[in-house]
Structure 1
């Protein structure tokens, strides 16, 4: 399995428009963070997790030519606004299946109503099929386990894909979710900033979750422009910040619970 971090930033991205802080003006490319999204390649499948407003640029940078499935964590703009950019894939391969919770897919259907309007002829629109998931399901040889996670007052979907656990925009990771994630080789986890936040994990809170899950490697994503990749935040040695374009190989298989 290979994981590529297409984006590791928050809803405003980094640099933030009009900001002259040290991170937004940094020459270190690891501080340039597009909206959080990931690409997973395994067992001959290419899976995208979330498609935000930067998806077109992310797909071009990754050299994407085919997508077998899109997994959505939730329907906030920074996670779904790029669904229209699936059109080139649809033209080449037909429909692109979209998976997510029933609520997430209901929001997608409402926001992208034109994609499902059969009366519209002659226009280019994404050919997508919606697949609601609330229990483990199969994509080819992969078993994917959706995990309900609180995001403030929202409930969003994290995913376990064999040896990979992917959790973003969590405000907490409940004990049952931690139990489902135990045994993964790589954990991806949001860590917004140093200070607590009502809808996202702080860096310290993310580190606590990482220790509880016990993955050999944890990569933090969804960071604001207050997070300096080079700074010492007292993280455990197995926990580090991801950055856009980082690719991680996962060699050890792990069965889902």
Structure 2
């Protein structure tokens, strides 16, 4: 990685996005662009490489807002729909490039094959379907993307194992409720940490705001950004005013450098 890592927040919302369809909640009615959140995803760019973490149902819209000429691969945190449902929209990249590399746990690959079987068939492929090159990833086994190394971080989304990813001095975790001590050791030393902060009240499978702040205190990054945010966290401007000086709410289309 000769040039620095650039991170673009493609989406920072929870599974329903913000605003929620039909909601009369004040945050859902907000006119502030920072209170409008697509499903969670980030774009990692350095040198000539572009990788996205997760590919949710807003992927097409996100790529139109943040255009890239080439997609070098997708890293999947887990199999839930808000992280995977946009995989069909890799077609423009596939038509230009050929098979798109994906990096995921075998369990996640199995789920993708079940839900998007037409993408994974070897014979009688529909001419317009995209195709992928599968790279299975597992706990405690770093892997390469482009010219750099990624360390997978295993955490738990209630009882479901999910992967976060550390790339150099940047660590990205979403849909996390618990992180085992041995995985926390892999995160320490991170300069920029991204972690989920769903809402104010406790939740069975996500950090709430208090838990996310406690996790930042434990990791001690230079800066931290919260993502996977629901309308129940509150208005962006009001919440951010009360955060520590090195902690920020991420918002859609925010770009940072590490």
Q: Same fold (TM over 0.5)?
A: yes
Residue 236 of structure 2 is matched in structure 1 by 229
Q: What do the CA deviations read for 1:12-71 (whole angstroms, capped 9, x no partner)?
A: 000000012211111100000000000000232101000000000001100122111100
Following TM superposition, the consecutive aligned residue runs of length 4 or more in structure 1 with deviations greater than 3 angstroms are none
Contact 2:191/2:221, CA 8 A, preserved across alignment = yes
TM-score (norm 1): 0.94
Is 1:245 aligned to 2:253, yes or no?
yes
Contact 2:17/2:37, CA 8 A, preserved across alignment = yes
How many angstroms does 1:126 deviate by? 1.4
Contact 1:43/1:142, CA 8 A, preserved across alignment = no
Q: Structure 1: how far apart are the matches of 2:210 and 2:245?
A: 14
How many angstroms does 1:11 deviate by? 0.4
Contact 2:118/2:126, CA 8 A, preserved across alignment = no
How many angstroms does 1:121 deviate by? 4.1
- Which of 43, 46, 49 aligns to 2:50? It is 46
1:1-257 pair list within 5 angstroms: 1-134=5-138, 135-227=141-233, 228-232=235-239, 234-250=242-258
Contact 1:173/1:209, CA 8 A, preserved across alignment = no
Gapped regions of structure 1 (runs ≥ 5): 251-257
Contact 1:181/1:213, CA 8 A, preserved across alignment = yes
How many angstroms does 1:202 deviate by? 0.4
Q: Structure 2: how far apart are the matches of 1:174 and 1:220?
A: 20
How many angstroms does 1:104 deviate by? 1.1
Corresponding residue pairs, total = 250
TM-score (norm 2): 0.94
Partner secondary structure for residue 210 of structure 1: helix
Considering only aligned residues, what root-mean-square deviation do their CA atoms show, in Å?
1.2
Q: Structure 2: how far apart are the matches of 1:216 and 1:160?
A: 15
Contact 1:32/1:244, CA 8 A, preserved across alignment = yes
